[in-house]
């Protein structure tokens, strides 16, 4: 399926990870994230081990460690939500901050919890990145169908992904057209009243809606002409080979060992 470069997260490499059955990759990724979240707070050794595993997969998949690292920073801004933990959990006081008239205390327990939340989240994101970087979207959707996700949902997802780039192009054109017709002053203050600006944005959304609707009509007619019967079919058999089972076994063993180590070490 065609996605512009900015949307497609797949990186084609001739690696054994790319070659694995997508079902194995989906299941291992989900179990991996589950297993990271299951580790106790402050199990730094185990976290480090998970990171080594992530890096090993990234290397085998020939993605480059730096690339995965850069991409993994997307979720970090959410840390804002958890930072209050540092100051609200009771524990040994590490330092105090003067904030206006308030004095807030940072506790060691809060810091450990905050750090653990952050690291676990960061590791989980890297696993998700590895999954989509090594698996084509049609394969991913096909794997979902094998994993008992309802066919209707998967088919809608497939259509959505197919037309995502088309509609993103469309909205980009709308946005560019608006920008081309809007002069801005040096202060960057946009013209018109708030209501007027909101109405323009709403008109754009309405316009996009109508165009999408018409497009879906055309698509349906075209698909009927090509013999569509309610779902996508594939010529890729998606059969589990010996190496797929082997990879699954190795991954499960590694995750089991991780849980044991995480609890034994901390």
Residues 157-176 that bind other proteins (CB under 8 A): 157-164, 166-168, 170-172, 174-175
Q: Binding residue for other proteins (CB under 8 A) from 5, 14, 66, 80?
A: 80
Shortest distance (Å) from residue 237 CB to other proteins: 23
CA–CA gap between residue 206 and residue 198 (Å, rounded): 12
Q: Which long-range contacts (CB under 8 A, 24 or more apart) does 93-101 make?
A: none
198 is a contact residue toward other proteins (CB under 8 A): yes
Which residues are within 8 A (CB) of 178 and not within 5 positions of it... i.e. 6 or more apart? Answer: 200, 204
Find the binder of other proteins among 183, 186, 195, 233 (CB under 8 A): 195
Site string for other proteins, 60-79 (x = CB under 8 A): -----------x--xx-xx-
- Residue 152 lies near other proteins (rule: CB under 8 A): yes
Shorter beta-carbon distance to other proteins: residue 137 or 247: 137
| Side-chain-facing half-sphere of 147: CA atoms under 13 Å | 17
Binding to other proteins, residues 206-225 (CB under 8 A): 206-210, 212-213, 215-217, 219-220, 223
Considering only residues 108 to 137 of the shown chain, the ones binding other proteins according to CB under 8 A are 109, 112-113, 117-118, 120-125, 128-129, 132, 137
Distance CA 156, CA 162 (A): 10
Determine, following the binding rule CB under 8 A, whether residue 103 of this chain makes contact with other proteins: yes
Residues in the chain: 266
User: Please, are residues 10 and 132 in contact by the beta-carbon 8 Å criterion?
Assistant: yes
Provide, rounded to whole angstroms, the least separation between the CB of residue 15 and other proteins: 20
Return the ∠ at Cα 248 (arms to 36 and 116), rounded to 5°: 5
Kindly state whether residue 18 participates in binding other proteins, applying the rule CB under 8 A.
no
Choose one: 29-37, 49-57, 59-67, 252-260; the region binding other proteins (CB under 8 A): 29-37
* Residue 145 CB burial class (10 angstroms; 0-12, 13-18, ≥19): buried
Q: d(Cα 45, Cα 140) in Å, to the nearest integer?
A: 32
């Amino acid at each position: 399926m065609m996605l512009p470069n900015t949307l497609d997260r797949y990186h084609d490499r001739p690696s054994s990870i790319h070659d694995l059955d997508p079902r194995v990759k989906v299941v291992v990724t989900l179990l991996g994230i589950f297993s990271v979240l299951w580790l106790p707070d402050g199990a730094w050794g185990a976290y480090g081990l998970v990171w080594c595993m992530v890096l090993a997969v990234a290397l085998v998949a020939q993605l480059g460690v730096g690339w995965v690292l850069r991409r993994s920073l997307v979720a970090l801004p959410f840390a804002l939500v958890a930072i209050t933990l540092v100051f609200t959990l009771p524990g040994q006081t590490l330092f105090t901050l003067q904030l206006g008239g308030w004095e807030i205390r940072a506790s060691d327990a809060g810091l450990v919890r905050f750090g653990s939340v952050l690291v676990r989240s960061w590791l989980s994101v890297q696993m998700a990145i590895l999954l989509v970087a090594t698996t084509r979207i049609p394969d991913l959707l096909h794997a979902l169908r094998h994993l008992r996700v309802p066919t209707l949902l998967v088919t809608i997802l497939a259509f959505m992904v197919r037309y995502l780039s088309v509609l993103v192009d469309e909205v980009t054109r709308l946005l560019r057209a608006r920008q081309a017709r809007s002069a801005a002053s040096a202060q960057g203050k946009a013209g018109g009243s708030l209501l007027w600006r909101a109405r323009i944005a709403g008109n754009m959304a309405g316009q996009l809606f109508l165009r999408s609707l018409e497009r879906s009509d055309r698509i349906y007619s075209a698909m009927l002409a090509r013999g569509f019967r309610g779902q996508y079919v594939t010529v890729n058999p998606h059969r589990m080979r010996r190496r797929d089972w082997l990879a699954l076994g190795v991954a499960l063993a590694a995750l089991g060992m991780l849980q044991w180590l995480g609890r034994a070490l901390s």
